[in-house]
Structure 1
Amino acid sequence: MVVILNSFLDESYFPAHDLTGFSLKQLVRYLQKTHDYYLNHQIPYIQELIDRLCSGRQPENPGLKVVNKFFAAYCRELKEHISREEKVTFPYVLDIESRFNHPENAGSGSPDYTIYHYESEHDNVEEKLYDQKNIMIKYLPQPFDFDLVKRIIAELYWLEKDLNEHARIEDKIMIPKVRMMEAALRLHRN
């Protein structure tokens, strides 16, 4: 897990020599816990702040409706993204690791899905948070609760930063390790 922490703290860190030092099972468990945190803590908290802002002085303000609607759409997209990882990608990653660790099962498994499929469909949900912050700045008319808006923007910033780190861990650690295991399993089959 030190590799994950180092990757989280240093964007330029690429632990090529350490990739075999931890299990994908541990990595998936960590990623699942972050998913749980996003869906059950961070997103509801931000939504609560946005709801508080929308129910304040100007509940019928069209700018507030845009902010709320955009965040609701973002939440749906994030939930779909996480669901796809939890239902398809993570089980595949765990299966690859299991087959890699037990070469007698190397020929089993689905050849229809590879980590390449995950890479090609992996969208950057964190980029939309940048848009959310800009929409808030652009569409919120005066007067509004400046402290509350500042808190929402700060929470969006931290969620965006955390999601960027989450994606880097997937891209720099999980994907290369799965690719290496897929290649070894292909060699073993042939």
Structure 2
Amino acid sequence: MTNKTIIRIIAYIAGLIIQALGLALMIRSDLGTGPWDGFYVGMCSHFGLTVGFWLIIFGVIFIFCSSYLMKRRPDFLSLITVIILGLCIDVWLYVIHPEQKGAEMQVFTFWLGLIITSAGTGMYLQGEFALTPADQLMIALCRRLGLSLTASKTIGDSCALAFALVLDGPIGLGTVIYTFLSGPLIQFLIPRIERAIVTHVKD
């Protein structure tokens, strides 16, 4: 196994763990979550179970949606990513309970979560293994409709926002910020993370 392969595996696993941490921080900020996470929290509030559980369930649905859009067999390897992400989110939500609830702490927690989530997404993508079902759907929309990565993610997140509102999920100003800034932020970070993690590692 080459050094580059080892680095990619580490980046893949670490990126998912980091992404889950960022999502949990945004949920705990009480300023509004990411659209899909708001939907999962809403499902959790209405029907029980955990946020991570609903993430995994809908991850399976996304796998089949992506398969239809791309006209190919479902990529069940992406279940690995959604299971890791779902379990990690539940663990982080169990661990993270900010003691201070002031406005400054809420804003800090949200922005920290947004940056960490975007960095984690950019990092795990460097692994070049299976995508999370949500990201797989984003890529499928990008290719099928000829959209940019930013546009396809914005469309997907906007749909999730509507579902979250129907379920009275934790939607707020932070949700709007995440919906329109996460795509550009990920796109901005990906080449920088790639240079830092991959390109300077010799085989």
**TM bucket, shorter chain:** 0.3 to 0.5
Which structure: larger Rg?
A: 1
